[in-house]
Amino acid sequence: MALFFDTDWFDARLKEFGLKHTDVASALALTPEQVSDMWKDQRELSAADVRHLAKLLCVSTEEIATRAGVSTPVPALENDEALDKLNERLDRVERTLAEIKALVLDLRTRSQ
């Protein structure tokens, strides 16, 4: 359980972006009731919740964790960077496979 959830700060950030609790629920893949529990400091944020809220509210994960309470986990930046690199590599591999497939199909067509 977070020791302190800064409801006023979170509500102000949502208002600044024209967002509602339903937008938070959608971004975090939670029910509105779960978001309500979060706002009432009755539901702990996961590291993934922290990351998604940081993106949604355009602040750092550290800011979200601080505003959500000291026991909220801050996702390791290295993990995010490593995941981004893996996703980029996977995109390159998929593009290369698509190119190879096109070449193979072209060779088959030419040989017929």
Q: Give just the sign of the alpha carbon dihedral 2, 35, 15, 11.
A: negative
- The model's confidence at residue 2, banded by pLDDT at 50, 70 and 90, is very low
What count of other Cβ atoms lies within 10 Å of the Cβ of residue 109? 8
Beta carbons within 10 angstroms of residue 83's beta carbon: 11
- Supply the mean pLDDT for the chain: 87
Is the Cβ–Cβ distance between 31 and 25 less than 8 Å?
yes
Q: Which residue has the tokens 């509210």?
A: 57
> Do residues 44 and 1 lie in contact, with contact meaning Cβ atoms separated by under 8 Å?
yes
CATH class for the region spanning 7-68: mainly alpha
Q: What is the pTM of this model?
A: 0.61
Judged by DSSP in three states, 77 sits in: helix
